[in-house]
A and B are shown apart, each in its own frame.
Chain A
């Protein structure tokens, strides 16, 4: 039974405007790069299917708007997320500060249940770098997040980032499953909408209603 299992994870991309969130997800899901894409407003949604060590994983990636005022909508997107990818632009110190704000909010609202990735994008512009590698990596470690460097333009580091994130989300899900097996409360898993389902089409996730918040 365990081998046939399909994991469904929800991942949310957060970060300041114009750091390359949409480019990352477009590169990852559709292997496209277009520096003329449209501004993301509230959110778009892309999916990706993976096979990790014989287990199927369905990723649903939510891309969000970067402008500050759209952060008011944040909870709607990250509420049931298993992972968050927090993106900054390595040439823009401000955007790194925004990542720190997101980390604070996510840890507060979701605790340690959510897998965090901090991503310095646009390393193709490394000569204009304004965020030091050491600072970024040590900060990530201090908050229990993994740090990655990517370039959506050159297609660098993106596969690794998502593959790694998936593995961590699977580990978290398996740990929760074991806890559940030991008779522990189901709340941790159900609250975040982790769907571990057998291969049946009518998979209905348990948990809170999406439309109330």
Chain B
């Protein structure tokens, strides 16, 4: 290499000199000499070139080998890490078992202190100051997941923290399976083939989105989905529309503001972006909700919208998050989903009950027989699209499909969640136990692949037309009931005003006698 450089320097130095000489006085002898030198150089270059090409080929082979070895090591490392997570989660469960023996004896077990200490150690999560150690991580689970949710709650009892840690470990090992890795590769290939052009709705994209969008591409895909659905609104509006709404909000008082303010810190308190008044997400959340309430005065603010907005803000900027909320409320959901009587939401619960009896007849009959009204729990799933009901790895995959395909996804996954745990429900024989299980069972579901397989393959055929028909059918019934209830409330208010003096209540104690 050095030799080559010297030679090049020499040649480049000598060439201009030769030129000036040549142009000044033509001397054949000197030219001849010059030609000889150049020929020599050429020969030199040729052999250098040959040598270097050979070198390059050899190095390329070496690099390829190193790369494939690196890949193999990475795969091995991932597999080992996954294995470590599994072993650690089993270890935790075991520790807890040992700590609470089946026949607990009163006397102090000498090992119990050791076990307590081991448990304490095992519950540690990676804290921020440990993160600069890139290779060796003393703790397999970090304090927050990639979405910013706390993995292991600090305030809770040891047992709950343990459950949370086991869950985090299992989720981590699930996220490292070959299947997940191959979904990542498929997305890389797909996005590379789109060459940064806008995405186009296609069966290929749909099936990819149904596998879940990788974290690093989610912003892009969500932004595209949202702008696709709200295009019809935005085309007629000024580009600074969102800014204008915010300016209006700054100048005029808004009846929705009180409740919005009360709810900001209660939206996703376990997510670091919304955990304190100074957290980055809070001001954005306030803006999005206030702007939305100005756009939709008939809705204003409905509890639940805060969670929808907060989730979209994790991947979108303020303005796009605002439009995402518009897409959900004004495009996806039927009318009156979030308005004064939550009419649309109530109707969807009736529709969902119909679907349960059709798709999961055994489970539906079981609930009927126990007189368990599961809509008391499922109402929430629909209103906030599963926020705070399922683990975040699953939540965001549901949202990927939801933002692409719309509200049918909610029905699909609501059914799939029940299907996933159908056998467990059928084992429960009293309503209290069933309600208790209803309250938390969704958080025990960790395998997103299995769930998505049930939701997308296990529930077919699933025509949207059927949902539309059912909605129309129940809408009238619910509307009638609400009118009756309102009438009762009104009459009573009037009655009370006119006959206040004559009324006297019998207290429960007197009734006793």
Query: Interface of A with B (CB < 8 Å)?
Result: 8, 17-18, 32, 34, 36-39, 41-45, 47, 58, 60, 62, 65-70, 72-73, 75-77, 104-105, 107-109, 112, 115, 142-144, 168, 171-172, 175, 201-205, 207, 209-211, 213
The complex places the Cα of A207 from the Cα of B371 at a distance, in Å, of 9
- 4 tightest Cβ-Cβ pairs between the two chains A and B: A210-B373, A144-B505, A36-B269, A72-B341
Cβ of A38 and Cβ of B303 under 8 Å apart?
no
Kindly provide the distance from the CB of B432 to the nearest chain A CB, expressed in whole angstroms: 6
Task: Determine if B267 and A32 form an interchain contact, defined as CB atoms under 8 angstroms apart.
Answer: no
- Interchain CB contact under 8 A, B340 and A69: yes
Q: Which residues of A contact B334 (CB under 8 A)?
A: none
Chain A residues within 8 Å of B488, by CB = 108-109
In whole angstroms, what is the CA distance A50 to B159 when docked?
23
Partner of B435, one of A41, A60, A112: A60
Distance in Å from the Cβ of B181 to the closest Cβ of chain A?
34
Does B342 lie within 8 Å of A115, measured CB to CB?
Answer: no
Min CB distance B489 to A, Å, is 6
- Asked whether B268 lies within 8 Å of A76 as measured between CB atoms, the reply is no
When chains A and B are docked, how far (Å) is the Cα of A38 from the Cα of B303? 11
A-B contact count (CB 8 A): 135
Interface: B240 (CB within 8 A): no
A73 proximity list for chain B (CB < 8 A): 342, 346, 379
**Closest approach, in angstroms, between the C-beta of B49 and any C-beta of chain A?**
69
Rounded to whole angstroms, the CA-CA distance of A18 and B259 in the bound complex is: 9
> A210 with B371: in contact, given A143-B505, A175-B511 (CB under 8 Å)?
yes
Smallest CB separation, A170 vs chain B (Å):
11
B266 near A76 (CB under 8 angstroms)? no
Contacting residues, chain A, for B62 (C-beta < 8 A)? none
B435 close to A42 (CB less than 8 A): no
Q: Which residue of the partner chain, among A17, A32, A47, A77, contacts B432 with CB atoms under 8 Å?
A: A47
Query: Given the complex of chains A and B, what is the CA–CA distance between A210 and B492 in angstroms?
Result: 25
Which secondary structure dominates where chain A touches chain B? mixed
Residue of B nearest to A80 (CB): B371
Listed residue (B269, B383, B493, B505) with the most chain A CB atoms within 10 angstroms of its CB: B505
Contact between A17 and B508 (Cβ–Cβ < 8 Å)? Answer: no
Residues in chain B near residue A39, CB distance under 8 A: 263, 266-267, 303, 306-307
With beta carbons under 8 angstroms apart, the residue of A8, A42, A107, A210 that contacts B380 is A42
| Residues of chain A within 8 A of B268, CB atoms compared | 38
- Verify A36–B262 contact, CB threshold 8 A: no
Query: Does B107 lie at the interface of the complex (its beta carbon under 8 Å from any beta carbon of A)?
Result: no
A211 close to B266 (CB less than 8 A): no
Give chain B nearest CB distance to A171 CB in angstroms.
6
B335 at interface by CB-CB < 8 Å: no
Does B155 contact A34, Cβ atoms closer than 8 Å?
yes
Main secondary structure on B side of the interface with A: helix
Counting chain A CB atoms within 10 Å of each CB, the highest count among B263, B371, B508, B511 belongs to: B508
CA distance A58 to B481 in the complex (A): 32
**Does chain A have a CB within 8 A of B227?**
no
For the complex formed, measure the closest distance between the CB of B430 and the CB atoms of chain A, giving whole angstroms: 6
Query: Is the CB–CB distance between A60 and B432 below 8 Å?
Result: yes
B interface residues, tally (CB under 8 Å): 61
In the bound complex, do residue B339 and residue A69 qualify as a contact, i.e. CB atoms below 8 Å apart?
yes
Question: Contacts A143-B505, A144-B505 given: A175-B512 contact, CB under 8 Å?
Answer: yes
Contacting residues, chain B, for A203 (C-beta < 8 A): 430
A87 to B8, CA, bound (A): 90
Q: Which residue of B lies closest to A143 (CB)?
A: B505
A18 to B481, CA, bound (A): 29
Q: How far is the CB of A22 from chain B (nearest CB, A)?
A: 9
- Indicate whether B66 reaches chain A with its CB closer than 8 angstroms: no
A121 → chain B closest CB, angstroms = 15
Q: Which residues of A contact B438 (CB under 8 A)?
A: 45
Complex contact B376–A67 (CB within 8 A): no
A209 contact set on B, CB distance < 8 A: 368, 371
- Chain A residues, Cβ within 8 Å of B371: 205, 207, 209-211
Inter-subunit contact A69/B505 (CB<8 Å): no
In the assembled complex, the Cα of A143 lies from the Cα of B375 at a distance in Å of 32
B residues 108-165 near A (Cβ < 8 Å) are: 155
Give every chain B residue within 8 A of A143 (Cβ-Cβ): 505
**Complex contact B353–A72 (CB within 8 A):** no
Contact A42 B376 (CB under 8 A): yes
| Bound CA span A45–B438, Å | 9
Asked whether, in the complex, the Cβ of A45 is within 8 Å of the Cβ of B439, the reply is yes
Taking A69-B341, A144-B507 as known contacts, 12 extra A-B pairs with beta carbons closer than 8 A to each other, sorted by chain A number, are: A18-B262, A38-B266, A39-B303, A39-B306, A44-B439, A72-B342, A73-B342, A76-B375, A76-B376, A108-B488, A112-B506, A203-B430
12 A-B interface contacts by CB (under 8 A): A17-B259, A18-B262, A36-B265, A39-B266, A41-B303, A42-B376, A43-B380, A45-B438, A73-B342, A108-B489, A175-B512, A209-B371
* Chain B min CB distance to A203 (Å): 6
Check A75 against B275 for contact (C-beta < 8 Å).
no
| Contact partner, B511, options A112, A207, A210, Cβ 8 Å | A112
CA A43 to CA B304, docked complex, whole Å: 12
Say yes or no: A36 contacts B432, CB within 8 Å: no
CB A168 to nearest CB in B, in angstroms, measures 6
Q: Mark B294-321, 1 if CB is under 8 A from A, else 0.
A: 0000000011101100000000000000
| Set B265, B436, B492: member contacting A104, Cβ < 8 A | B492
Query: In the bound complex, do residue A41 and residue B383 qualify as a contact, i.e. CB atoms below 8 Å apart?
Result: yes
Alpha-carbon distance A209/B481, docked complex (angstroms): 16
Name the distance in Å between B206's Cβ and chain A's nearest Cβ: 30
- Taking a contact as CB atoms under 8 Å apart, the answer to whether B508 and A171 are in contact is yes
| Contact string against A for B residues 357-392, beta-carbon threshold 8 Å, 1 for contact and 0 otherwise | 000000000011011110111011001100010000
CA A143 to CA B430, docked complex, whole Å: 35
Q: In the complex, what residues of A have CB within 8 A of residue B269's CB?
A: 36-38
Q: Which residues of A contact B343 (CB under 8 A)?
A: 72
CA–CA, A69 to B380, complex, Å?
14
Chain B residues with CB below 8 A from A112, complex form: 505-506, 508, 511
**Cα-based distance from A165 to B247 in the complex (angstroms):** 50
**Does B39 make an interface contact (CB < 8 A)?**
no
Most buried by B among A34, A66, A112, A211: A211
